[in-house]
């Protein structure tokens, strides 16, 4: 059976060049794939996390969006850039899909209208990675339209654009014929993340900076005002442990490790721990959000945010 593809256009304009790109793609691939064009972005309600939770009543428009996503074998996305970022209406679509289990591991092709900047493109890739989608980079192309007035027929009449789109169609078809990337089930992901925390704390209590670095991913982020970013291993301040020991610290212990969000590639944990003196009395108590990610098959702590 032909593969089922859902297209998402990031523009609300009726004569959007991004929409024309998606329609041109569908014309080229008509004999090999079936397409559903999602055209209800403008009527989708504003994202409300109070509705997107256990016991919440999801709006009918959101249920329809998630149905379309879950039944598609791949998503085809083309979005413009607005003020160095993604258009608000399109970001709203993605926000409603963040907690949708049907989106995890979904295969994505990005069709970019080259305009000389990549702010929105870079933002889109980061959002999709965070949502644990699988972007098919080999099928994602940048199209030198030269004008935003081209419709799908004009695009297909140009040899250069038609060749790029056809190459993408062939790559997507080949990829869909293969099994999806193997991902860990959520339970296993949570176990892996907790094991990373155990290794990190063991190294921390031994004042083993290299051992700590081995449990981290870089760049490593400490959100705050201003944020702190460790770009590589060995970025920990040399006086960190001497200062900590001088304050009376001897070891740390967890009092709470709660998994609050899990996907095959990312786990969010609410972490509470005590910094203790040698006699076990509490020196201070800490509460933080930690994010553990799997990159190139290895789990590591990516973000540590004190609350």
Is-contact 154 120, C-beta < 8 A? no
Confidence (pLDDT) at 116: 75
Confidence (pLDDT) at 148: 76
Q: Is residue 156 part of a domain?
A: yes
Which burial class, exposed, middle or buried, applies to 299 when counting CB atoms under 10 A from its CB (0-12, 13-18, 19+)? buried
206 and 139 within one domain: no
Confidence (pLDDT) at 181: 52
Confidence (pLDDT) at 212: 95
Domain that holds residue 20: 3-176
Q: Is residue 181 part of a domain?
A: no
Confidence (pLDDT) at 132: 79
Confidence (pLDDT) at 303: 92
Q: Is residue 202 part of a domain?
A: yes
236 and 143 within one domain: no
**Among 176, 203, 237, which residue terminates a domain?**
176
Q: Tell me the C-alpha distance between 17 and 87, whole Å.
A: 15
The one-digit pLDDT tens for each residue of the chain (307 residues) are 789 999 999 999 988 999 999 999 999 999 999 999 999 999 999 998 888 766 668 899 999 999 999 999 999 999 998 888 899 999 999 999 988 878 878 899 999 988 777 888 999 998 998 887 889 999 999 999 987 788 999 999 999 999 999 999 999 999 898 765 555 566 688 899 999 999 999 999 999 999 999 999 999 998 876 788 999 999 999 999 999 999 999 999 989 999 988 888 889 999 999 999 998 899 999 999 999 998 888 999 999 987 5
Report the domain count for the chain. 2
Which CATH number fits the domain that encloses residue 75? 3.40.50.360
Beta bridge partners of 261: 268
At which residue do the structure tokens 């860990």 appear?
Answer: 184
């Amino acid at each position: 059976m032909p593969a089922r593809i859902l297209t998402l256009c990031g523009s609300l304009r009726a004569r959007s060049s991004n929409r024309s790109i998606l329609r041109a793609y569908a014309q080229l691939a008509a004999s090999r794939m079936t397409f559903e064009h999602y055209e209800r972005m403008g009527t989708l309600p504003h994202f409300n996390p109070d509705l997107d939770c256990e016991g919440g009543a999801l709006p009918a428009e959101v249920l329809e969006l998630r149905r379309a996503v879950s039944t598609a074998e791949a998503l085809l996305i083309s979005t413009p850039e607005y003020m160095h970022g993604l258009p608000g209406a399109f970001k709203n679509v993605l926000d409603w899909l963040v907690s949708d289990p049907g989106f995890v591991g979904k295969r994505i092709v990005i069709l970019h209208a080259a305009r000389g900047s990549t702010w929105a493109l870079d933002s889109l890739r980061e959002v999709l990675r965070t949502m644990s989608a699988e972007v098919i980079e080999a099928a994602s192309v940048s199209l030198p339209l030269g004008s935003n007035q081209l419709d799908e027929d004009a695009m297909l009449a140009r040899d250069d654009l038609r060749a790029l789109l056809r190459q993408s169609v062939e790559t997507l078809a080949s990829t869909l014929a293969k099994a999806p990337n193997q991902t860990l089930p959520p339970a296993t992901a949570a176990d892996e993340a907790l094991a990373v925390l155990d290794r990190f704390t063991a190294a921390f209590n031994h004042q083993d900076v290299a051992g700590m670095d081995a449990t981290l991913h870089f760049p490593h982020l400490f959100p705050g005002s201003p944020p702190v970013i460790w770009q590589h291993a060995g970025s920990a301040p040399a006086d960190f442990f001497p200062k900590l020991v001088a304050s009376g610290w001897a070891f740390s212990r967890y009092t709470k490790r709660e998994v609050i969000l899990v996907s095959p590639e990312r786990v969010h944990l609410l972490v509470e721990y005590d910094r203790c003196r040698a006699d076990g009395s509490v020196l201070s108590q800490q509460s933080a959000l930690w994010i553990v990610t799997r990159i190139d098959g290895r789990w590591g702590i990516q973000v540590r945010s004190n609350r």
